[in-house]
Amino acid sequence: MLSYRHSFHAGNFADLIKHIVLVEILEHLVKKDSPFDYIDTHAGVGLYDLRGPDSQKLQEYTEGVGKLEFDKLPEIDKYYQVIHSFNESDIINIYPGSPAIANFFLREQDRGWLFELHPKDFDLLRSNFSHSKNMRVHHKDGFDGLKALVPPPSRRGLILIDPSYEIKSEYQMVIDRVIKMHKKFSRGIYAIWYPVVDRQCIAKMERGLVQSGIRDIQRFEVGISDDSNNRGMTSSGMIVINPPWKLYEKMSQLLPKIASEITQVNRPIYKCEIIVDE
């Protein structure tokens, strides 16, 4: 399916959880001098102009990054620092997607691998990273691209998997590919983004991972309203395999605050769970 374009949704509440977790993992990886590889299976265009017609059509960023009061959330100073690096003032006009966030952290010895199948988005992605020596951009399905890159040359790596889930079979496809890749690269960090449109799909993903025998799996999720079959995406989350050792502690303190900022009901909605122990 090639109808989904993230430019209509950039900076929304789903991006918050995905990118805050992404920043935390990347901060952890750069603490060691040894190189690492970053693999992004569904990269989009990498940078988004919130003033453009796509973002303005739905204005989802107003219910996401636009709702945060960063001065009250010192825990995500680094996330804000990344965003601010793409903007000339405190007003957020340019929102960095996951490739731009990763590129912010990559050092000379690190490598990034970006996959995007949508032809227009691929052209924009390639243009946005044409001057990056660290990034390799591929017009290819990210699931197929993983086969040749896992395990990565560095033997250290973060694999971000965030398809659009436009078709329900993608939920099972994600689990199948993660299980296969984990057998080849068990030490890698796998970050799986998911939308909560149908909670049963997420429960099935969780069961698949638990039954796979993979250890050390955590889940971080925030929502704007209770689960509903009639409302569209009500929550969004990240399942992380081999998370940094302090990630759970930090997210357990942070998620209630983020959820309180973005909620559309009278209470914060979030999950911070250990799905499988180490």
pLDDT reported for residue 2: 59
Q: Which of 90, 162, 176, 198 is catalytic?
A: 162
Q: Using CA atoms, how far apart are residues 18 and 15, in angstroms rounded to an integer?
A: 5
The answer to whether residues 138 and 20 touch, using CB atoms and an 8 Å cutoff, is no
Q: Which pLDDT belongs to residue 3?
A: 65
How long, in residues, is the chain?
278
What three-state secondary structure class fits 115?
A: strand
Q: Which helix (H) or strand (E) holds 160?
A: strand 157-161
On whether the CB atoms of residues 89 and 18 are closer than 8 A, the answer is no
pLDDT in the model for residue 249: 97
How high is the pLDDT of residue 61? Answer: 96
pLDDT at 229: 80
- Model pLDDT, residue 4: 76
Structure tokens at 152: 């990565």
Helices (H), the chain: 13-29, 53-58, 77-84, 98-105, 119-128, 142-149, 169-184, 199-212, 247-262
What is the layout of strands, in order, in the sheet containing 111-115?
135-138, 111-115, 37-40, 157-161, 189-196, 235-241, 217-223, 269-276
Q: Give the model's pLDDT for residue 101.
A: 98
DSSP for 228-254, written as a single string: -SSSS--EEEEEEES--TTHHHHHHHH
Place of tokens 């970050």: 191
Q: Mean pLDDT in runs of 10 for the chain (278 residues)? A: 79 97 98 98 96 95 94 95 95 97 98 96 97 95 93 96 92 96 97 96 96 98 91 93 97 97 94 97
Let me know if 122 is exposed, middle or buried by CB neighbors in 10 A (0-12, 13-18, 19+). buried
Q: Which fold has domain 13-46+104-276?
A: Rossmann fold (3.40.50)
| pLDDT at position 168 | 87
Query: Which residue, chain included where needed, has tokens 């009061």?
Result: 69
Question: What residue type is assigned to position 205 of the chain?
Answer: M
pLDDT of residue 230: 78
- Could you state, in order of their start, the residue ranges of all structural domains in the chain? 13-46+104-276
The helices-and-strands tally (H runs, E runs) of the chain is: 9, 10
Write down the pLDDT at residue 255.
97
Q: Active site includes 227? A: no
User: What's the predicted TM-score (pTM) here?
Assistant: 0.96
pLDDT of residue 228: 87
Question: Who contacts 3 (Cβ-Cβ below 8 Å, separation ≥6)?
Answer: 166
How many CB atoms sit inside 10 A of residue 238's CB? 26
Q: Closest Cα to residue 178, out of 219, 141, 146, 139?
A: 146
